[in-house]
Amino acid sequence: MRLPLLDEDVTHIDEKKAISLIRYAIDNGVNYIDTAFPYHGTGMANPGFSEPLAAKMMKDGYREKINIVTKLPTWLVNKREDMDKYLDLQLQRLEVDSLDFYLLHSLNEATWNKMNDLGFQDFLDKAKQAGKIKHAGFSFHDATVDSFKKMIDSYQWDMCQIQLNYMDEFYQAGTEGLDYAYSKGIGAVVMEPLKGGNLACPLPEKAQELLNNLHPDWSNASWSLRWLLNHPAVKVILSGMNKMDQLKDNITTAGVAEANKLSERDVDALRQVKGILESRVKVPCTGCHYCMPCPFGLDIPRNFELLNDYYRFDDANNKHHTIAMLHSTFDESKWANRCQECGKCEKHCPQGIEIRKMLKEVCKAFEMNAVNK
């Protein structure tokens, strides 16, 4: 998803560097390689270049050393036959006969309801019977843990994929969802372990001193991965590495970190770091979604999430990354500049946030031009 590039165009993967990095990872114990239909592409509706790159990487005997993982683009599925169409296309793009893991990509209430109505259970069962996939799972992208539990209970999943890091312990599925899946015998793969790279970058001075004083030889990324690996329910961590030093650091951490081994002093230090970062938020949004839906299509919580990430960190690279996330993962029709100032959202906000005022702050931070009312 974040492979080295030849230039600023995400479709121009530096194939030589990328294959070298991935094969180095495999040679040093990594055996779970994750890709998806749109990665390194021009948009969610178009096939990207990540899957074909993975096909090239798996030559020379590397296919036999790994679990290859990709995902069904659920947003493009409109009928039952589409599921088979995309699976067969992805098998061709990856140049394999079978996938070790196949996930329903980006499930939220809307996509889950659609997939449920179209019979995803039958699709996965038949794909397994045909030998096209060995294990089935889903990646979760909804707001509430209740939605996650409902999805967990909807099928005999082999695994699930959730967002989790020490800053987002109670976000989306969170640790509650993690433990619920574990209680059902379902392994969890964690995405966003570094919160889009933010937690690997330099932290505000006081927070950085806390960590450096305890373990000066641990990188910020290592702290984040150790926190996750301290949870017995976490089976795999997905880290978007595009440089050799990142890869080596993560491999070193994964080689020594174990569940229930992080000291209480270390866990408390991360709690303090979280508190320092949270004290810098611009808007006290909890992501409860009571303000939604917006009659004009805004995703109000997502706008506030990006605004808070922008102000949490001092490092210029973090701000640059947050701006890039806005443009690469957030539909422009849901941006703050679409606000028509009707005020409906403010009537439902439990935090009493002046939402219209704060949406203007989003526009200011991200230099959004207001849409004509």
Report pLDDT for 315: 60
Query: What CATH number does the domain containing 132 carry?
Result: 3.20.20.100
Banded model confidence at residue 259, pLDDT cuts 50, 70, 90? very high
Check residue 372 and give its pLDDT: 60
Boundary residue ending a domain (256, 271, 286): 271
State what percent of residues in the chain have pLDDT above 90: 72
- Asked whether residue 54 is domain-assigned, the answer is yes
Residue 203 predicted with pLDDT over 70: yes
Q: What is the pTM of this model?
A: 0.83
Q: Which two tokens stand for residue 238?
A: 């997905």
Q: Are residues 249 and 344 in the same domain?
A: no
SS3 329: helix
Is a pLDDT exceeding 70 seen at residue 316? no
- Residues 141 and 88 reside in one and the same domain: yes
Q: Domain containing 358: what range?
A: 300-365
Backbone angles phi, psi at 114, to 5 degrees: -65, -50
Does 256 lie in the same domain as 322? no
Q: Is the dihedral of CA 161, 254, 276, 323 positive or negative?
A: negative
The single residue listed with the structure tokens 């996650």 is 148
pLDDT band at 93 (very low <50, low <70, confident <90, very high): very high
At residue 314, does pLDDT exceed 70?
no
Give yes or no: residues 262 and 315 share one domain. no
In a domain, 1, yes or no: no
Residues forming beta bridges with residue 103, ordered by sequence position: 71, 137
Check residue 118 and give its pLDDT.
97
Domain count, the chain: 2
The pLDDT confidence band at residue 317, using thresholds 50, 70 and 90, is low
Does residue 218 lie in a domain region?
Answer: yes
**Which of these three, 253, 271, 289, is where a domain ends?**
271
Contact 10, 233 (CB under 8 A): no
Average pLDDT, the chain: 92
The average pLDDT across 265-294 equals 88
Task: State the burial class of residue 227 (Cβ atoms within 10 Å of its Cβ: 0-12, 13-18, 19+).
Answer: buried
Confidence of residue 356 (pLDDT cuts 50, 70, 90): very high
Same domain, 262 and 173: yes
Task: Identify the helix (H) or strand (E) that includes residue 235.
Answer: strand 234-237
| 212, 357: one domain | no
